[in-house]
Amino acid sequence: MKILVINSGSSSIKYQLLDMATESVLVTGLVERIGEAGGVLTARTHPGTGVEKRIRRENAVPDHNAGMKLLIAQLSDRQDGVIRDAAEIEAVGHRVVHGGEYFHEPALISEEVIQAISANVPLAPLHNPANLDGIRVARELFPQVPQVAVFDTAFHQSMPPHAFLYALPYELYEQDRIRRYGFHGTSHKFVAGECARLLGRPLAACNLITIHLGNGCSMTAVENGRSVETSLGMTPLEGLIMGTRCGDIDPALHAILHRSRGLDIEEIDALLNRESGLKGVCGMNDMRDIHAARQQGNKLAQLAFDMFVHRIRKYIGSYFAVLGRVDGLVFTAGIGENDHEVREATLAGLENLGIVLDREANAGKPGAWLRISAPESRVEVLVVRTNEELEIARQTMEVLGQAPIETTGPVWSGAVS
Ligand code: ADP
């Protein structure tokens, strides 16, 4: 079964075509600058294989419809394409950022589902409309093909009220749906599933802490395979320190910044989302630059690193208390997958929690996964490369009643795969 995965943004469409018989990626690509001057499509066919080919097409892309047509033309191009025609695409899976409280699972797209996604626009005013653009255009171009919406928030809908509610007047929840929703759910679900597979146990029997450290950062406590607590909140600002976002702060800071600096609410919002986090502390938001600066003795870079790590450790401790028993801890996303220094500093001295790092394994090169706990560690610690597109394609198949391919049982034989 060939599934097209679409992640439609306001001025871009990311896409992947997967052959789910082997779970292999046929094409991964991006249409950018939709509605702007100088639209461009970049793609790689058969990425990571010996026959990988890079494609770049500059083309005016006035709207999402034109963007989608351009990518379909690329997929079925006589010379560079991977399919004969668009009829080979059997399903489309769409990433949708906010499913609110309505969507606990992926949904087969219908008019009713589109209405429900539209109803959640106030919760994600920048993302959901762009996701809807992609859905509308794909339905026009593939009217016969089943389409599925996969939500970033859905995995966290299993959180109990005592975890997802803020201690605010209850009517703010009842009337305005103010609560913690969490994000990165597709990534947390994927790495939790991979971790369970590597542990050789059903996900429903695993208690895990999943740590997604990219530009945006979040952690999730997974109890018996279900999210019971997560660090991002009503918006993707709460919790861990991120590239440019502050994470947890005293909410009274809004009033203080207003009174002391005369900032209005939009300015404060921009400050906390775009000028804070690692960037706010040391002026850099890419962890690689921060390491380079630390090595040259830059004190603020060191401080930003220490703060970043400290916040993750605080959350690890609290998630141990939430879960009681932890079987596995998983690092993922740009920093989580690649940065052994962050992982080492994060896990230092946690032996009493049953976490013992194998420093040599931790310094190894990550493949699809890497086991970095020592044999005596009670908690298995893994690095798992996240794959949100594959997770969306798997969930799309599930909604359509198709079984995923058989994945092998425990693969503990080698540290790196
Ligand atoms: P996004 O949240 O945009 O998907 P990614 O998961 O790709 O982000 O993570 C991007 C971040 O990962 C970069 O800003 C950088 O800080 C970090 N990163 C990427 N590669 C490395 C690396 N080799 N070492 C340390 N950090 C890295």
295-330 pLDDT, tens digit per residue, is 999 999 999 999 999 999 999 999 999 999 999 999
**Boundary (domain end) residue, out of 151, 167, 190:** 151
CA angle (207 as vertex; 201, 212 as ends), nearest 5: 105
My answer on whether 243 and 132 are in the same domain is no
My answer on whether 119 and 266 are in the same domain is no
How far does the centroid of ligand 1 lie from the alpha carbon of residue 8, in Å?
21
My answer on whether 273 and 372 are in the same domain is yes
Answer for the pair 375, 360: CB distance below 8 angstroms, yes or no.
Answer: no
Domain housing 131: 2-151
| Over residues 123-141, mean pLDDT | 92
Element (H, E) at 390: helix 388-399
Cα–Cα distance between 32 and 55 in angstroms, integer?
Answer: 14
How far does the centroid of ligand 1 lie from the alpha carbon of residue 115, in Å?
35
My answer on whether 81 and 17 are in the same domain is yes
Q: How far is CA 245 from CA 187, 229, 284, in A?
A: 19, 20, 12
**Amino acid 310: pLDDT:** 98
**Amino acid 238: pLDDT:** 97
- Beta carbon of 389 within 6 Å of any ligand 1 atom: no
In a domain, 25, yes or no: yes
In a domain, 95, yes or no: yes
In a domain, 24, yes or no: yes
Which residues are known catalytic residues? 152
Q: Which residues contact 136 (CB under 8 A, 6 or more apart)?
A: 64, 114
- Beta carbon of 335 within 6 Å of any ligand 1 atom: yes
Cα–Cα distance between 145 and 137 in angstroms, integer?
Answer: 12
Please state, rounded to an integer, the average pLDDT across all residues of the chain.
94
**Which of 160-164, 182-186, 412-416 is predicted least confidently?**
412-416
3-state secondary structure at position 176:
helix
**pLDDT score of 262 more than 80:** yes
**Which of 45-54, 175-184, 238-247, 404-413 is predicted least confidently?**
404-413
**pLDDT score of 125 more than 90:** no
In a domain, 164, yes or no: no
In a domain, 168, yes or no: no
**Amino acid 414: pLDDT:** 36
Among protein residues, the one with the nearest Cα to ligand 1's atom 22 is 338
My answer on whether 231 and 134 are in the same domain is no
**Boundary (domain end) residue, out of 151, 181, 210:** 151
Q: Which long-range contacts (CB under 8 A, 24 or more apart) does 108-111 make?
A: 108/146, 108/147, 108/148, 108/399, 108/400, 109/135, 109/139, 109/146, 109/147, 109/148, 109/149
My answer on whether 340 and 256 are in the same domain is yes
My answer on whether 347 and 223 are in the same domain is yes
Residue 365 banded pLDDT, cuts 50, 70, 90: confident
My answer on whether 365 and 223 are in the same domain is yes
**Amino acid 403: pLDDT:** 77
The number of residues in the chain equals: 417
CATH number at residue 97: 3.30.420.40
Ligand 1 atom nearest to CA at 212: 6
Pocket test for ligand 1, best of 95, 215, 279, 387 (most atoms within 8 A of CB): 215
**Amino acid 53: pLDDT:** 95
What confidence tens digit (pLDDT) does each residue in 180-221 have? 999 999 999 999 999 999 999 999 999 999 999 999 999 999
**Per-residue buried b or exposed e for 278-301, using 16+ beta carbons within 10 Å of the residue's own CB:** bbbbbebbebeebbebbeeebeeb
My answer on whether 125 and 38 are in the same domain is yes
What confidence tens digit (pLDDT) does each residue in 2-20 have? 999 999 998 999 999 999 9
How far does the centroid of ligand 1 lie from the alpha carbon of residue 213, in Å?
8
The dihedral sign for the CA sequence 331, 335, 340, 345: negative
My answer on whether 243 and 143 are in the same domain is no
Query: Which two three-digit tokens encode residue 101?
Result: 């409280």
The proportion of the chain whose per-residue pLDDT surpasses 90, expressed as a percent, equals: 91
**Amino acid 406: pLDDT:** 64
My answer on whether 254 and 145 are in the same domain is no
The proportion of the chain whose per-residue pLDDT surpasses 70, expressed as a percent, equals: 97
Residue 415 banded pLDDT, cuts 50, 70, 90: very low
In this structure, the dihedral spanned by the alpha carbons of residues 387, 391, 394 and 400, taken in order and rounded to 10 degrees, is: -150
Instruction: Give how many domains the chain has, as a whole number.
Output: 2
Q: Residue 216 carries which side chain, given as an amino acid letter? A: G
| Over residues 398-408, mean pLDDT | 78
**pLDDT score of 34 more than 50:** yes
My answer on whether 41 and 123 are in the same domain is yes
**pLDDT score of 126 more than 70:** yes
How far does the centroid of ligand 1 lie from the alpha carbon of residue 210, in Å?
16
**pLDDT score of 341 more than 70:** yes
**Amino acid 407: pLDDT:** 58
Cα–Cα distance between 343 and 361 in angstroms, integer?
Answer: 11
How many DSSP H helices and E strands does the chain contain?
Answer: 15, 14
**Amino acid 154: pLDDT:** 97
**Per-residue buried b or exposed e for 391-407, using 16+ beta carbons within 10 Å of the residue's own CB:** bbbbbbbebeeeeeeee
**Amino acid 416: pLDDT:** 35
